[in-house]
């Protein structure tokens, strides 16, 4: 069956069984790999994309339900050669990604939260990111990054990189 939608502003037509998870169509048919295939039961958030402005677990969404929608993924946040969004810059500045496996899902959920007028209120951010699992960061840095983006803070990422390098050299000595 043919199903049409857009991904990051580009029209797509896929041939798929209606109940195929959107996650599989994105990754296997369209080679859009930022949504991660992790638990595939709705429990971790790694597969999260934005569908018509709402954060959705793509592992739980049948592709038929995406017919006619506008889907966004991390690939569309900062197109090749484009500038990172303030949220992505804050993610780097606050070291909110360590292994990075969870980052795509968190970034899309947090992007939807901010676009819907989300503030730097910690409890509201925790609520918006509920059910997203990260095995590395302890969540503190992730929440700090979302709070920074909500406040409109900007960062010089070259200084962030220099700071990280200095720290590493300090450890080596």
Q: Min. distance of Cβ 48 from ligand FES in angstroms?
A: 7
How far, in Å, CA of 96 to CA of 94, rounded?
5
Shortest distance in whole angstroms from residue 112 CB to ligand FES:
15
If one counts every other C-beta atom within 10 angstroms of the C-beta of residue 112, the result is 20
Answer yes or no whether residue 102 interacts with ligand FES by CB under 6 A: yes
Of 59 and 71, nearer to ligand FES (C-beta) is 59
Strand partners, 17: none
- Binding segment for ligand FES (CB under 6 A), chosen from 26-34, 66-74, 92-100, 151-159, is 92-100
| Residue 140 within binding range of ligand FES, rule CB under 6 A | no
Cα–Cα–Cα angle for 96, 61, 114, rounded to 5 degrees: 40
Q: Select the residue interacting with ligand FES from 100, 119, 121, 140 (CB under 6 A).
A: 100
CB of 22 to ligand FES, least distance (A): 10
Per-residue three-class SS string for 26-40: HHHHCCCCCCCCCCC
Site size toward ligand FES, by CB under 6 A = 22
Measure the CA–CA gap between 39 and 78, rounded to whole angstroms: 26
Residues 49 and 107: beta-carbon distance below 8 Å: no
Interacting positions 22-81 with ligand FES (CB under 6 A): 37-40, 42-47, 57, 59
């Amino acid at each position: 069956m043919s199903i049409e939608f857009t991904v990051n502003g580009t029209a797509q037509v896929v041939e798929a069984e209606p109940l195929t998870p959107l996650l599989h169509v994105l990754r296997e048919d369209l080679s859009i790999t930022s949504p991660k295939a992790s638990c595939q039961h709705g429990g971790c958030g790694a597969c999260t994309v934005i569908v018509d402005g709402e954060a959705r677990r793509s592992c739980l969404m049948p592709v038929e339900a995406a017919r006619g929608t506008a889907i966004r993924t991390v690939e569309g946040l900062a197109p090749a050669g484009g500038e990172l969004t303030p949220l992505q810059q804050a993610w780097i500045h606050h070291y909110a990604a360590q292994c990075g496996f969870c980052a795509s899902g968190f970034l899309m959920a947090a992007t939807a939260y901010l676009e819907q007028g989300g503030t730097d209120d910690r409890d509201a951010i925790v609520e918006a990111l509920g059910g997203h699992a990260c095995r590395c960061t302890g969540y503190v840095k992730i929440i700090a990054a979302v709070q920074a983006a909500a406040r409109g803070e900007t960062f010089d990422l070259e200084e962030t990189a220099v700071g990280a390098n200095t720290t590493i050299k300090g450890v080596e000595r």
